[in-house]
Amino acid sequence: MTVSDPVVEDVVTTISRSATEIRQGLIGRRGTVEGENPSGDTQAEADVWADELLGDRIAGIDGVGQYASEERADIVDCGDDPAASAAYAVAVDPLDGSSNLKSNNTMGTIFGVYDAALPARGDTLVAAGYVLYGPITTMVIATDDTVSEYELTGGERTIVERDVTLPAEPVVYGFGGRVPDWPADFREYAREIERELKLRYGGALIGDVNQVLTYGGTFGYPALESRPEGKLRLQFEGNPIGYVVEQAGGRSSNGTQSLLTVDPDELHDRTPLHVGNDDLIDRLESTVA
Ligand code: AFP
């Protein structure tokens, strides 16, 4: 099943076809490189390699005017006229959860296709999604029409579920950061949720969010006492994941508002990130607001 917008379809196909290569390329690239990414995080060899691979391919797509990555300080202007009104901007987290490489746990590739120059609000997204490197490689693609899930084999994608929606009854939760570093109001909310749902936290946003999309519940990486701006990046993680979950009938929040309505200042802005069933996010906002 293809996406109706031909440029978005090209982006999605480029990522899905690269995913098989990325998964294979993780072998032998599990070490870290000198230096840090623009957010100050340690980089795995695979982070840099996946970014170079995806950057070259996505920047070459007609209709893409900008490429930006969690691993690069600056935006890459692509094509003849990057500022062309018809041009989309593609933001990518090439390898989300790369610290899971060492422990051989789930990881992902996250993408967002913005109909605006970066840094952009999440409500300018026309498509977003992720590849999940789990026991099998799957891909979730959200557009303004629907959310679909695919299995990826041999560079091709096979639809496994159309119109993916968050299950009405929440089952799982996962919260990042350390408990002593959670603000008191979030700790109060977390204590309630812990008594109601099952803990599922794997250390990679994509793996944890995919559990919420599959079983219902909530994932959060809250504002911390030591880091009130949160850990996760708005352009590369918050907006794309917020878009997917909202398109699937759930909600996203930075603690006070939908992630998709946050006005960005900088390309690598961080944000508190909460996604999941409506009533769980409503309860979060009423507790921490
Ligand atoms: P890495 O890409 O450095 O592994 O970070 C993964 C991540 O950005 C996101 O995927 C996780 O939800 C979150 O960080 C995990 O953070 P903690 O290591 O603090 O639990």
Quick: pLDDT tens for 163-204: 999 999 999 999 999 999 999 999 999 999 999 999 999 999
Handedness of CA 75, 79, 85, 87 (dihedral sign): negative
16 lines ligand 1 (CB under 6 A): no
Phi-psi region of 119 (alpha: psi -120 to 50; beta: other; left: phi over 0): beta
Domain boundaries in the chain? 6-161, 172-288
| 12 Cα distance to chain centroid | 14
Quick: pLDDT tens for 40-73: 777 778 888 999 999 999 999 999 999 999 999 9
Can you read off the two tokens belonging to residue 119? 């840094």
Among 232, 241, 270, 275, name the best residue to mutate to test ligand 1's pocket (greatest count of ligand atoms within 8 A of Cβ). Answer: 232
For atom 5 of ligand 1, the residue with the nearest CA is 97
Q: Is 171 exposed, middle or buried (0-12, 13-18, 19+ CB in 10 A)?
A: middle
Question: How many A from CA of 97 to the centre of ligand 1?
Answer: 5
Query: Is the confidence at residue 249, as pLDDT, over 90?
Result: yes
Query: Is the confidence at residue 241, as pLDDT, over 80?
Result: yes
Q: How many other C-beta atoms can be found within 10 angstroms of the C-beta atom of residue 121?
A: 17
Nearest to 255 by CA among 210, 213, 227, 287: 287
Annotated binding site for substrate: 96-99, 201, 231
165 lines ligand 1 (CB under 6 A): no
> In terms of CATH architecture, what is 6-161?
2-Layer Sandwich (3.30)
- pLDDT of amino acid 82: 61
Q: Which atom of ligand 1 is nearest to the CA of 233?
A: 8
SS3 per residue for the chain:
CCCCCHHHHHHHHHHHHHHHHHHHHCCCCCCEEEEECCCCCEEEHHHHHHHHHHHHHHHCCCCEEEEEECCCCCCEECCCCCCCCCCEEEEEEEEECHHHCCCCCCEEEEEEEECCCCCCCHHHEEEEEEEEECCCEEEEEEECCCEEEEEEECCEEEEEECCCCCCCCCCEEEECCCHHHCCHHHHHHHHHHHHHCEECCCCCHHHHHHHHHHHCEEEEECCCCCCCCCCEEHHHHHHHHHHHHHHCCCEEECCCCCHHHCCCCCCCCEECEEEECHHHHHHHHHHHC
Determine whether domain 172-288 maps to CATH 3.40.50.300: no
Contact 157, 139 (CB under 8 A): yes
Reported pTM: 0.95
Percent of the chain with pLDDT over 70: 98
Contact 89, 114 (CB under 8 A): yes
- pLDDT of amino acid 85: 60
176 lines ligand 1 (CB under 6 A): yes
Handedness of CA 279, 284, 286, 289 (dihedral sign): negative
Query: Is the confidence at residue 262, as pLDDT, over 90?
Result: yes
Percent of the chain with pLDDT over 90: 84
Q: Which atom of ligand 1 is nearest to the CA of 93?
A: 2
CA–CA separation, 62 and 78 (whole Å)? 9
Quick: pLDDT tens for 110-126: 999 999 999 999 999 99
Contact 107, 133 (CB under 8 A): yes
Place of tokens 């980089």: 43
146 lines ligand 1 (CB under 6 A): no
For atom 2 of ligand 1, the residue with the nearest CA is 97
Contact 205, 234 (CB under 8 A): no
- pLDDT of amino acid 40: 78
Q: Which atom of ligand 1 is nearest to the CA of 47?
A: 2
For atom 18 of ligand 1, the residue with the nearest CA is 203
96 lines ligand 1 (CB under 6 A): yes
